[in-house]
Amino acid sequence: MNTNKEISLEKLILGINNFIFCLNLYKEKINNLNVFPVPDGDTGTNMLLTMKSLDLTYEENMTVEDFLFSLKNSSLMEARGNSGVILSQFFLGLLSAYKNNKILSFKTLADAIVNAAKTTRESLPNPVEGTLLSIYEDVGSIATKNFETSKDLSGFLKILSVQSIKSVKDTPNKLQILKDADVVDSGGLGFAMMINSWFYSTVYNNQEDIKKKLNEAYLEMISGLSDSVSKDFYDDSEEIEWGNCTVFTVRGENMDISKYRKEIPEFGKSAVITGDSSLMKIHIHVLETDQIIEYANAIGKVENIFIQNMDDQTKDILDSKKDYKNINTSIISICEGKGVINLFNETAGNAMHILIGGPKKNPSINDILEIVKNIKSKNIIILPNNPNILVTVKKLLEISDREGIGILETKSIQQGISSVVYFDDSKTLEENIKVMNKGIASIEEASVTMSTRDVNLNGKDIKKNEYIAILNDEILDSFNNPRRALEYLLNDMSSRNEILTVIIGHDSIEEDHEKLEESFYEQNNDNELMIVEGNQPYYNYFILGE
């Protein structure tokens, strides 16, 4: 074996560091292209997070195989999202190629990419051309043809880089949805950028030069196409329910991965099952996560569960496509549920930024800081809409030195919504806080939720799974179905309020609420009842009385 064609471990680690460097640079640009399988705008982020989580520690007594083994394991364990899981195939492929070749060489690298293509194809129930899979296959095949004739690493990587660009440009011809959205495949582009960054790092020492060349490669790949998925495309796809992106690992012994590859896709969409007999990585989009986790528990030890609601993610993207220019005061509303998000968005328009959060899903200070950092307007008003999140937001104010941040101390979604009605961007921060607080001052708020345990409250025995009617933080009564609890509350509140707004939660969304309106208007002539979909979890109904 010609030692010139050996790739030292040092060079490999340098290559991986370049992958991270370029993904950091191009994360947002890659996110903007994300349309397949779900337009949730996270491909670049997922690829970067997957690469960042790689275990790159190398100790003296470690063999190359040990190092590649922990590289593979860490990539499988931490891989995020569809694109991250497919990216981790490269490291799976690298380990098995090394085991075959007993050396890290040009051939090993070529084999690794070919292996990645093969295991990706195996791990997908319906492999789709025009994605990262096609880039793996094209680049793997050209690498196989050229590893013998290439004189040095730079020359070899150049061939791979050129091919990767060519293949990415071809993706819209292979996959119709890309053509419709007028973009190239985001994951494919991400991988091509990685290969290019490795190549250019062997040519230039100066980061600025590398950046310049990467920009040229990027522009070449998207030339003649759009640099982001258009808002219209998202609007059209808004009606589709994407469900939850669920990613986890299963540890076990002698697991029959080919069997699970057949069974797991039955649970949902976009399944990717990868790994080996001791560690499997599963990525799947499901409407409800319970069943798939239960199934996996029977196979082995389930770890690193990562669940993200993609409807909320898709909504985030719509937000990021808004025109935030010329806004004096932005609002960050922390809430969840498609309909609730919609209410906030519609009411404050371009001023509104949504951060997903609620009971059992409290965003961290960093999550909020991240949004704050990206807001360019002079002022920001934060609506926590939850007592626990309010505490977090108050802490944030203590540590942030950004000027012009105000908190409106909303402790519920009802308060948040009734305050935002009075927001007016032509007013100052102080004036807005004043009028928005006024909006909250005289409201009544109620909710219906299921009791999770047997309790005695205010001398009332409430059984587990009964529905409780809560008015202004006080439990009034419990009922055996949520509709009766709602009717009880409406009846109680109608005499004191001009408008009652019912926000329907996820668990009651299928019910027919038309009769409710009819009977309400039979009894109340002067008052108004509005019923809107909220899709919020945990609460069957929120009720706002004004």
Partner 1 sequence: MSKIAIVTDSTCDLPNKVVKEKNITVIPLNVHFGEETFLDGIDIKPDAFFEKLSTSEIHPQTSQPSVGRFVESYEKLLKTHDSIISVHISGKLSATYSSALQAQKEVGNDNIKVIDSMNGTLGLGAIIYKLAELNQEGKTFENIVEEAEKLIPNAKFMGLVPTLEYLAKGGRIGKAREFIGSLLKIKPILGAVDGEIQSVGKARTLVKGMDFIVDELKNHNIKTLFIVHANHSERADLLKEKASEVVDSKNIIIAEFGPVVGTHLGPGAFGVGFISSE
DSSP state of 165: H
Q: Between 514 and 526, name the residue whose CB sits nearer to partner 1.
A: 526
Q: Counting contacts by CB under 8 A, is residue 508 touching partner 1?
A: no
Tokens of 123: 């791990």
Which residue blocks in 494-538 are alpha helix, DSSP H? 514-523
Q: Between 182 and 546, name the residue whose CB sits nearer to partner 1.
A: 546
Q: Give me the least distance between CB of 543 and partner 1, in Å please.
A: 14
Q: Is 363 helix (H, G, I), strand (E, B) or coil?
A: coil
72-80, 147-155, 304-312, 495-503 -> range binding partner 1 (CB under 8 A): 495-503
Q: Between 241 and 424, name the residue whose CB sits nearer to partner 1.
A: 424
Question: How far is the C-alpha of 315 from the C-alpha of 241, rounded, in Å?
Answer: 11
Q: Counting contacts by CB under 8 A, is residue 342 touching partner 1?
A: yes
Q: Counting contacts by CB under 8 A, is residue 319 touching partner 1?
A: no
Q: Counting contacts by CB under 8 A, is residue 417 touching partner 1?
A: yes
Contact pick of 346, 431, 461, 517 for partner 1 (by CB under 8 A): 346
Q: Counting contacts by CB under 8 A, is residue 270 touching partner 1?
A: no
Contact pick of 38, 317, 343, 413 for partner 1 (by CB under 8 A): 343
Sheet holding 379-383, edge to edge: 352-356, 329-335, 379-383, 405-407
Residues 6+ apart with CB under 8 A from 507: 450, 482, 537, 540
Tokens of 239: 């009606």
Q: Between 411 and 427, name the residue whose CB sits nearer to partner 1.
A: 427
Q: Counting contacts by CB under 8 A, is residue 517 touching partner 1?
A: no
Q: Give me the least distance between CB of 501 and partner 1, in Å please.
A: 7
Q: Give me the least distance between CB of 497 and partner 1, in Å please.
A: 8
Sketch the per residue contact string, 39 through 68, with partner 1: x for CB under 8 A, - otherwise: ------------------------------
Contact 482, 468 (CB under 8 A): no
112-120, 181-189, 421-429, 510-518 -> range binding partner 1 (CB under 8 A): 421-429
Question: How far is the C-alpha of 539 from the C-alpha of 447, rounded, in Å?
Answer: 7
Q: Counting contacts by CB under 8 A, is residue 432 touching partner 1?
A: no
Question: How far is the C-alpha of 414 from the C-alpha of 354, rounded, in Å?
Answer: 16
Q: Give me the least distance between CB of 73 and partner 1, in Å please.
A: 49
5 alpha-carbon distance from chain centroid = 40
Contact pick of 152, 256, 424, 431 for partner 1 (by CB under 8 A): 424
Question: How far is the C-alpha of 377 from the C-alpha of 325, rounded, in Å?
Answer: 8
- Among positions 453-492, residues that touch partner 1 (CB under 8 A) are none
Q: Counting contacts by CB under 8 A, is residue 397 touching partner 1?
A: no
56-64, 183-191, 208-216, 418-426 -> range binding partner 1 (CB under 8 A): 418-426
Q: State how far the alpha carbon of 255 is from the alpha carbons of 301, 355, 375, in Å.
A: 11, 39, 48
Q: Between 93 and 439, name the residue whose CB sits nearer to partner 1.
A: 439
Q: Give me the least distance between CB of 498 and partner 1, in Å please.
A: 4
- Among positions 524-543, residues that touch partner 1 (CB under 8 A) are 528, 530, 532
38-46, 286-294, 416-424, 477-485 -> range binding partner 1 (CB under 8 A): 416-424
Question: How far is the C-alpha of 271 from the C-alpha of 267, rounded, in Å?
Answer: 9
Number of residues that bind partner 1 (CB under 8 A): 19
Q: Between 305 and 499, name the residue whose CB sits nearer to partner 1.
A: 499
271-279, 340-348, 384-392, 470-478 -> range binding partner 1 (CB under 8 A): 340-348
Q: Counting contacts by CB under 8 A, is residue 421 touching partner 1?
A: yes
Tokens of 492: 């109680």
Q: Counting contacts by CB under 8 A, is residue 521 touching partner 1?
A: no
Q: Counting contacts by CB under 8 A, is residue 546 touching partner 1?
A: yes
Q: Counting contacts by CB under 8 A, is residue 498 touching partner 1?
A: yes
324-332, 351-359, 420-428, 446-454 -> range binding partner 1 (CB under 8 A): 420-428
- Among positions 180-219, residues that touch partner 1 (CB under 8 A) are none
Give CA angle at 433 (527, 383), nearest 5°: 80
Q: Is 197 helix (H, G, I), strand (E, B) or coil?
A: helix
What is the per-residue DSSP string for 386-449?
A: SHHHHHHHHHHHHH---SSEEE----SHHHHHHHHTT--TTS-HHHHHHHHHHHHHT-EEEEEE
Beta-sheet pairing, 269-275 with 279-286: antiparallel
Contact 159, 143 (CB under 8 A): yes
What is the per-residue DSSP string for 373-388?
A: HH--SSEEEEE--SHH
Q: Counting contacts by CB under 8 A, is residue 428 touching partner 1?
A: no
Q: Counting contacts by CB under 8 A, is residue 422 touching partner 1?
A: yes
Contact pick of 501, 508, 535, 536 for partner 1 (by CB under 8 A): 501
Compute the CA torsion angle 131, 132, 133, 139 (nearest 10 deg).
120
Tokens of 235: 């609007």
Tokens of 113: 């990419």
DSSP state of 364: P
Burial per residue of 406-417, b for 16 or more beta-carbon CB atoms within 10 angstroms, e otherwise: bbbbbbbbbbbb
Q: Counting contacts by CB under 8 A, is residue 439 touching partner 1?
A: yes
Contact pick of 45, 347, 410, 414 for partner 1 (by CB under 8 A): 347
Contact pick of 278, 460, 499, 521 for partner 1 (by CB under 8 A): 499
Q: Give me the least distance between CB of 346 and partner 1, in Å please.
A: 5
Q: Which positions lie near partner 1, rule CB under 8 A? A: 342-343, 346-347, 417-418, 421-422, 424, 438-439, 442, 498-499, 501, 528, 530, 532, 546
